[in-house]
């Protein structure tokens, strides 16, 4: 009877040893996968920084005249009946409303120019961004576009 118990213990020890070896192999494979993923993440981060620097470089090279054209278009859109019909445009009440300039030139026009789209296409991107806003929807509910992501 004692030899039977010893045999069971020996078998249990061997099974535990086998399971331990398998767990060590799995842990080693996981460690290798983590190392590979960390290096891939570092490459992606470096590429992202490179793209950001390139985009900033493209933005910095934008023509003053073209940016002026975009801001003037934005101002005229704010005055126009198809826009917000706001007397004074971006300077209603004698105060500059810089928020639309920042939001639509930096948020739509310049990224479109950085993507090598033409000035008219980039202005259209700005118009599309405006037509997706709640403010535009409140003035022109029938011609507003659905918000992004819907």
| Look-up of token digits 């090279």 | 61
- What are the helix (H) ranges across 61-142? 64-79, 98-100, 110-114, 119-131, 134-139
For the stretch 19-45, pLDDT in tens is: 999 999 999 999 999 999 999 999 999
pLDDT tens digits for range 127-137: 999 999 999 99
CA distance 128 to 67: 17
pLDDT digits (tens, 9 = 90+) for 47-87: 888 777 766 666 667 788 998 999 999 999 999 988 888 88
């Amino acid at each position: 009877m004692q030899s039977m118990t010893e045999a069971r213990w020996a078998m249990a020890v061997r099974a535990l040893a086998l399971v331990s070896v398998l767990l060590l192999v799995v842990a080693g494979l996981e460690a290798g996968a983590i190392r590979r993923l960390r290096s891939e993440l570092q490459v992606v981060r470096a590429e992202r920084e490179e793209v950001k620097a390139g985009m900033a470089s493209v933005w910095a090279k934008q023509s003053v005249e073209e940016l002026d054209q975009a801001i003037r278009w934005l101002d005229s859109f704010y005055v126009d009946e198809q826009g917000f019909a706001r007397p004074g445009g971006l300077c209603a009440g004698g105060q500059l409303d810089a928020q639309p300039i920042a939001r639509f030139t930096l948020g739509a026009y310049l990224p479109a120019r950085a993507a090598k789209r033409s000035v008219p296409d980039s202005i259209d991107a700005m118009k599309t961004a405006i037509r997706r806003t709640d403010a535009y929807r409140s003035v022109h509910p029938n011609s507003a576009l659905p918000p992004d992501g819907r």
